[in-house]
Amino acid sequence: MSSAIDKVEENVFKLSSNKLKHNETLPNAQVLNAHGCTGGNVSPQLSWNNPPLNTKSFAIICHDPDAPKENGWYHWLVVNIPISTRNIEQGEKITGSLETITDFKTTGYGGACPPIGHGIHHYHFTIYALDVENLDVNENNNPVEVEKKVVSHSLAKSTITGLFERK
């Protein structure tokens, strides 16, 4: 018999992944392959369900607030994800979406590679349900500005946090 709490959980906007586990070490596939790191440098598989009723699109942001840089480090920003999309496979580009520049100064996913000895970094992979079909941004907009626009149109969000450290 299901409880009221189970019923609420069934209707919550939730991000999940078959590889990323919340508050556990990132898989090597999501680590950068440069600057002394030897990962796969591919975006993770992600899926989400139960968006709020008035959702018109989605956005994904991967951010490391622990990076030794003002505003942290933006690893991935994807906006204008169609409402019909509920899954992205590892390394996949989402048809109809827009990837904006990251702090690597390129579009697309850039993996984890914190400074050696800087401690554990937290990589927040967040899906946002938005109240607009398209955000007024282009691929060259500053990541902080893109995030501000995403947050200003957000109806709900869900996050998986991956951890990574270089000793």
Concatenated DSSP letters for 101-167? P-TTSSSS---B-PPTTS--EEEEEEEEEESSSS-S--TTS-HHHHHHHHHHTEEEEEEEEEEE---
Q: What is the pLDDT of residue 8?
A: 46
**DSSP state, 43?**
P
> What single string gives the DSSP state of each residue in 57-82?
EEEEEEEETTSSSTT-EEEEEEEEEE
Q: What is the pLDDT of residue 11?
A: 76
Q: What is the pLDDT of residues 1-21, one digit of tens each?
A: 444 444 445 679 999 999 999
Are the CB atoms for 118 and 66 separated by under 8 Å?
yes
Q: What is the pLDDT of residue 10?
A: 63
Tokens, residue 147: 């995030």
24-29: list long-range contacts, CB under 8 Å, 24+ apart.
24/162, 24/163, 25/162, 25/163, 25/164, 26/112, 26/123, 26/162, 26/163, 26/164, 29/90
Phi, psi (degrees; rounded to nearest 5) at 143: -55, -40
pTM score above 0.85: yes
* Cβ burial 124-147 (10 Å sphere, 16+ → b, else e): bbbbbbbeeeebebeeebebeebb
Per-position pLDDT tens, the chain of length 167: 444 444 445 679 999 999 999 999 999 999 999 999 999 999 999 999 999 999 999 999 999 999 999 999 999 999 999 999 999 999 999 999 999 999 999 999 999 999 999 999 999 999 999 999 999 999 999 999 999 999 999 999 999 999 999 99
